[in-house]
Structure 1
């Protein structure tokens, strides 16, 4: 195990080295592990055990990963329907400059979770009492964006300057917002892809990396408000069902469009980290930056 600084790159070979080292340390067999996703984190499903190995791209994310582990343990103790840690392994260990956690693999089945399922899940999550000894960070709506910009060595200077100014402007807008809902713990990245329907039909909540103390409006905006107003990924009927399930129409709130532009900026900077992985990703990044310069809706973005 090493605590040396993380290299800037995070490709398949980088993730696989951390996977092999972490599994060896935990007494697991990494041979035949199947890559599931490479994005902000790398996910592998082990062939030797019902385990998903999650590898954070940088040792600088250690505090976030430790928070994620603490949140997972809280939700398990509260019997909340969420993904569980694989209890027989050490958690948040550092290997090859990456932070590694181990999770129980869940088989999925049945129809994909809906936006109404997400609204029900977030309503229930917001109502779960938070333990007094669980300290959550204050929510930062543009967390990691500036670090991503600083590490972007193959992005045009004019794009980086545009995004840096946009971050400054959006922070100023965000800090002037009035939030009608009471603040509390939020998922922070509550979108439909962070739900899984198990083979028994139960819907499970995933990914606690962005958990924080902040405005509940953020979860509603990212969950179904922005997919509806910003991208037209949600029909009016689906949106109405989500609003009814949660009990608040966030797109009628004057601050919605500030949150929408913040979320679009974080989505763009997230993709920017992978522009060297393929021409398709670079083309999509260029498309997103161009559309941010011209605030015309709906956005026509390709998901990655």
Structure 2
């Protein structure tokens, strides 16, 4: 979308005089930093992602109304949380948010604070009034197995057996409205030390422990090292000390952590292949991941 058109929209609809735009990144949307009297984050979202974006905006507005540390949505002059326009025959959503000047926090230092933030998020989302998409076994396990079948991977039976065994361990755990992509890159700590949670495009209904694990897993995706396992245990312990003040986890949930780390490899591999195509990895890479998963199980038989 032409930057001059965006500048006119920002002036007319949001009352920002003489805004300048700095392109930041492209993904499901085009994202810009807006410099005016204040600094903002601007997203231009195409029709393919409009439903996801509307949910994300709704969640941010809900969290903001409950005093949660998430980006504030800037309203148009008419009081709307987004502006809808059309360019080249496609409808676009314009979303303007406050710009949070911050960096990813150090989990070794901030794990308890992050745990409190995530626990409060889960607590608040229990009362969020709208439905969210459920993520079940097919999302976590089945998608990757289907990719391996398409590649005619010769050791697929080992993955199938492992997937069934892992899912049996977690399939009855409590579920709720989760962030869905709670990696540390979706945290921003500002100069005042406040930690904000961002990016709510993947909010879904899933086991709470999936969110918890993604945030606390400090292992290397490609190289499993004992020191990383020890660090993961320490970060997880500190995280739970903050999390439990807002949202309770059963002993069964807490003990499921190592299963979720393994399930994450299934889930993340499937997502990567869906984005880049099944030929982006070869048999040697898949063998390496299977080695990692088997080694993880051997090493974490007594995780606690």
- TM-score when normalising by structure 1: 0.66
3-state DSSP class of the match of 1:100?
strand
Distance 2:53 2:94 in 1: 8
3-state DSSP class of the match of 2:31?
strand
Distance 1:81 1:199 in 2: 14
Equivalent of 2:274 in 264, 269, 283? 269
Q: Is residue 93 of structure 1 aligned with residue 87 of structure 2?
A: no
Partner of 1:187: 179
Partner of 1:149: none
Partner of 2:302: none
Aligned pairs for 1:276-295 within 5 A:
286=280, 291-292=285-286, 294=288, 295=290
3-state DSSP class of the match of 1:46?
strand
Equivalent of 2:61 in 64, 69, 73? 73
C-alpha displacement at 1:215, in angstroms? Answer: 1.1
3-state DSSP class of the match of 2:25?
strand
Give the gaps of 5 or more residues in structure 2: 241-253, 294-304
Partner of 2:221: 230
C-alpha displacement at 1:221, in angstroms? Answer: 3.3
Q: Is residue 297 of structure 1 aligned with residue 292 of structure 2?
A: yes
Aligned pairs for 1:165-244 within 5 A:
173=164, 178-179=170-171, 181-225=173-217, 227-228=218-219, 230-231=221-222, 235-244=228-237
Partner of 2:265: 260
Query: Please, what is the CA RMSD of the aligned residues?
Result: 4.1
Distance 1:196 1:122 in 2: 13
Equivalent of 2:31 in 32, 43, 54? 43
Q: When the two structures are aligned, how many residues end up with a matched partner?
A: 253
By percentage of residues, which structure has more helix?
Answer: 2
Give the gaps of 5 or more residues in structure 1: 1-16, 147-157, 274-284, 299-304
C-alpha displacement at 1:78, in angstroms? Answer: 1.2
Does the 8 Å CA contact 1:55/1:99 hold for their aligned counterparts?
yes
By percentage of residues, which structure has more strand?
Answer: 2
C-alpha displacement at 1:124, in angstroms? Answer: 2.6
- Radius of gyration: which is bigger? 2
